[in-house]
Amino acid sequence: MRKTIAIVGAGLGGLTLARVLQTHGVAATIYESEASPKARAQGGLLDIHEETGQVALRSAGLYDAFRTLVRPGEDAKRVVDRHGAILFDLPADPASARPEVDRGELRRLLIDSLAPGTIRWGHQLASVRHHPEGGYDLAFAAGSATRADLVIGADGAWSRVRPLLTHAEPRYSGTCFIEIALAAGDHDCRASVAAIGGGTLMAVAPGKGIIAHRCADGQVRGYVALNKPEEWLRSIDFGDPAAGLRRLADEFADWSPLLTDFVTRSDARPWLRPIHALPVGLAWDRVPGATLLGDAAHLMSPFAGEGANLAMYDGADLARELVGRPDAEAALTAYEERLFPRGRDAAARSAKNLESFFGQGAPGSVAALFGHS
């Protein structure tokens, strides 16, 4: 393919797209707003699905390397009520078809697989416009600019490429996460850590939850989840982290101290992470030379476990079309014909599971969800 390709965003989807293209001799450039690969933490563990994420990694020629990153034993799951009573307890499965890996390590694997210079760090997209003679003009916040025949929006929830294709914007789901963590060896919280089990603890009730994961290095990482209006969330002052965490803990006043200790004793900076989603079934008319992948195309809550997996699968699928067809428009059309239904199906599951987690049926609905999965 004799087209210049600009990929906006160096997340898992954009990196997979560039990697699969390069394995077929097709060059692409990734423009990433972050200054370097280490500019921020990349989140926690991901379970990589056999039918999506693993397919993408095989297409990228990285499956064997991915297997070396797998965290055995961290896929255990335990569901409890507000008193800490166990409703569902699934031990780790060493032969799991959905092994867990650290998101940051997986991203590093993909970054290191690319040819030097593929990623232009510190390139925050300011605008993207159709060029009168075809293709697109991209301008960056630092003042540089470029032109590309094809532009791929892999730039996440608040994509700056998405407006080329649709006016749809993410909507707040009503659920917000606040990060919590305990350092390895926190002797004051031994009983709480033991209550997690071997992997992830999900303590849920209507409108709220505490989710904690025991990491292999002894750390505990997780989230407080609350169904609250955005105005309420903004009213919490996290300038004093301890005071902010106590305010959160007040929402769990009748819960077991084994659970609330994860909140009051957290040593993580309590970042607010409101859960947003694009409309289920989002699609758009074909726009020449442009498309989206991952969260830019089908942002959903994390309760189907599909976000990262679909982003990588989208990237691999789009790359296969671009290298397999001489006509770029035919490739983008074929890609989107599959993108829309898979995004719709996953987003519908995610929305349904979000209701199961924090709706009126919790925690029994969550135990049932895992019991039938």
Domain boundaries, the chain: 5-71+99-170+278-355, 171-276
Interval 310-318 mean pLDDT: 98
> Computed over its alpha carbons, how large is the radius of gyration of the chain?
21
Tell me phi and psi for residue 182, to 5 degrees: -130, 135
Q: How confident is the model at residue 243 (pLDDT cuts 50, 70, 90)?
A: confident
The angle at the Cα of 264, spanning 260 to 267, to the nearest 5 degrees, equals 125
> What pTM, to 2 d.p., does this model score?
0.94
Least confident piece of the model among 14-18, 90-94, 323-327: 90-94
DSSP per-residue letters across 192-252? HHHHH-SSEEEEEETTEEEEEEE-TTS-EEEEEEEE--HHHHHTS-TTSHHHHHHHHHHTT
Which tokens is 18 given?
């560039």
Which tokens is 123 given?
């390139």
Among candidates 274, 256, 276, which has minimal Cα distance to 201? 256
Which tokens is 277 given?
């989603």
- CATH fold of 5-71+99-170+278-355 reads FAD/NAD(P)-binding domain (3.50.50)
- What is the pLDDT at residue 372? 67
Q: How confident is the model at residue 182 (pLDDT cuts 50, 70, 90)?
A: very high
Q: Measure the CA–CA gap between 201 and 171, rounded to whole angstroms.
A: 28
What CA–CA distances, in Å, run from 112 to 48, 58, 201, 340, 357?
A: 19, 16, 33, 30, 37
Q: How confident is the model at residue 241 (pLDDT cuts 50, 70, 90)?
A: confident
Statement: residue 30 has pLDDT above 90:
yes
